[in-house]
Structure 1
C-alpha cells in the first residue's frame, strides 16, 4: 500500500507507462518484494500511487548503476518504514549523482518510451528549452538520460516555460556557488593531510554532500512554501 496521502489512482499499465518500464517488470519487482502491493479498488483492480512511482524510479536508477537485485533489496531494506515519495526522490537524486553525465542518441519512438508517455511537439520543444533533449541526425534526438524523468515531470507543473527556465537559472547559479564554497572549505581542511585522506574525501564527498544539500533544501523549501501558503490564506 502506498504510504503517501495522495489517493492511488494508477493502474499497472499506467504505472508502467509513467515510469518507462514494462508491466512485466512492475510485476517482477512486486513478486520480489521490491515494490509494495497495490491498493485493491473496485472490481478488484489494483491501484498505484506516488509512492509506487517514486520507489520504481529509485529501483530503476539503482539498476542502471549496475546494482544486483540482492543489492537493491538490501538498499531498500535500509530505508525507513513508511518513507514517502518526496524522500524516495531524494534517495534517487543522490544515487543519480554518482553517475557520470550520460547523453544518448535515441529515435522518436524510443524517446516516448523512455519518457513513459507520448510526447507532443510542444512537449519536445519544452524539453529542448530545458536542455534535456536536442535534435541529432536523421530525425533522432540527443537525450540527457539523467534529466529526462525530471524534465517530463516538469511538463505537468502548472508553471510557464519562462518560470521553469528562470527557476533553473536560480538553481544552477546557487548550486555552483555552494559547490565552490564547499570545495574551498574541504580543500583547506585537508591541505596538510596525507594523500590517502584527500582521496578518501574525494570518494565520499559527492554523494554525502548531495544528500545533505537536497535534504537541507527540501526542508527550507517546505518552510518557505508553508509561510507563503499561510500568508496567502491570511490575505
Structure 2
C-alpha cells in the first residue's frame, strides 16, 4: 500500500518534504500560527510525519501558501478562498499550483511596488546577492531606484524560480523574448476576435465581457501551451533515444 509520504514524494518528483513548520513559515513569509490555522481550515494539507513524528513540509505547501497569498491580494475573503481551493483537485503538484496562481494573478492589472532590499528578500523567500538582483533586473522583474527596488509583484516568484534553472542567463533572456513576442501576437489576435464579436454592444457590456473572459483566456493559453510543450519535449526525447539506438547499432 502506498503511504502518505510515498504519495507526496511521487507528486513532487521523488522529492521528500524536508521543511519544519518554522522553516516553512520563514520561506512563505507568514507566521507559524497562520500555517496551523490554515491547516485546521483545510486550506493546507497536513504535513508528512518524519522521524520522531515531526511534521515535514514540501514544495506543495509552499506553492499552496503562495496561491492563498495571491487570492488574498485579489481581495477574496477566507470563506471565498476556502470555496476556491475546495474546487481544485486535491492532488495538484507544486507546479500545477503555481499555474493556478499565475491564472489568479492575471485577474488584476499589473502591480508594481517600491521596496527595500530586505523587503525584496523577504518576498522572494531567500537571500539575493548582487548577481541575482542583476538577473532579476534583466528579466524585467525589478529595477534599481536609488537604494530601493521597483518590483513587478506579479513576476517576482517566477523570476526567483528562474534563478535556479540550470540554463545560461542568455538562454533565459532569449526564452523570455520568444514568449513575449508570441504572447503579444496571440493577445492581438484574440483581442481582434473579441472586438469583432462585441462590436455592436454597449461599452459597459464590453468591459464586463473582458473582465469575465480574461481569466478564462489565460487558463486556456496556459493549458494549450503546457500540452504543446509536453509534446515537443516528448518528440525531442524520442528523437534523442532513436539517435542513441542508431549509434549503438553502428
- How does the TM-score come out when normalised to structure 1? 0.92
Matched, 1:145 2:153: yes
Matched, 1:207 2:215: yes
Displacement of 1:67 in angstroms is 0.9
Q: Spell out structure 1 runs of 4+ moving beyond 6 A.
A: none
Partner of 1:86: 95
1:219 to 216, 224, 227: 227
Retained in 2: the 8 A contact 1:90–1:215?
Answer: no
Displacement of 1:148 in angstroms is 0.8
SS at 2:155 equivalent: helix
Please identify the structure whose Cα radius of gyration is greater. 2
Structure 1 unaligned regions, length at least 5: none
Partner of 2:238: 230
Displacement of 1:44 in angstroms is 1.8
- How does the TM-score come out when normalised to structure 2? 0.87
Structure of greater relative contact order (alpha carbons < 8 Å, 6+ residues apart): 1
Displacement of 1:197 in angstroms is 4.3
Displacement of 1:200 in angstroms is 3.3
1-structure distance, mates of 2:108, 2:201: 28
Partner of 2:11: 4
Partner of 2:198: 190
Displacement of 1:16 in angstroms is 2.7
- Paired residues for 1:169-188 under 5 Å: 169-188=177-196
Partner of 1:76: 85
2-structure distance, mates of 1:83, 1:100: 26
SS at 2:161 equivalent: helix
Which shifted more, 80-89 or 152-161? Answer: 80-89
SS at 1:212 equivalent: helix
Q: How many residues align?
A: 234
Distance 1:23 1:225, change over 3 A: farther
Structure 2 unaligned regions, length at least 5: 245-250
Partner of 2:131: 122
Partner of 1:43: 52
**CA RMSD across the alignment:** 1.8
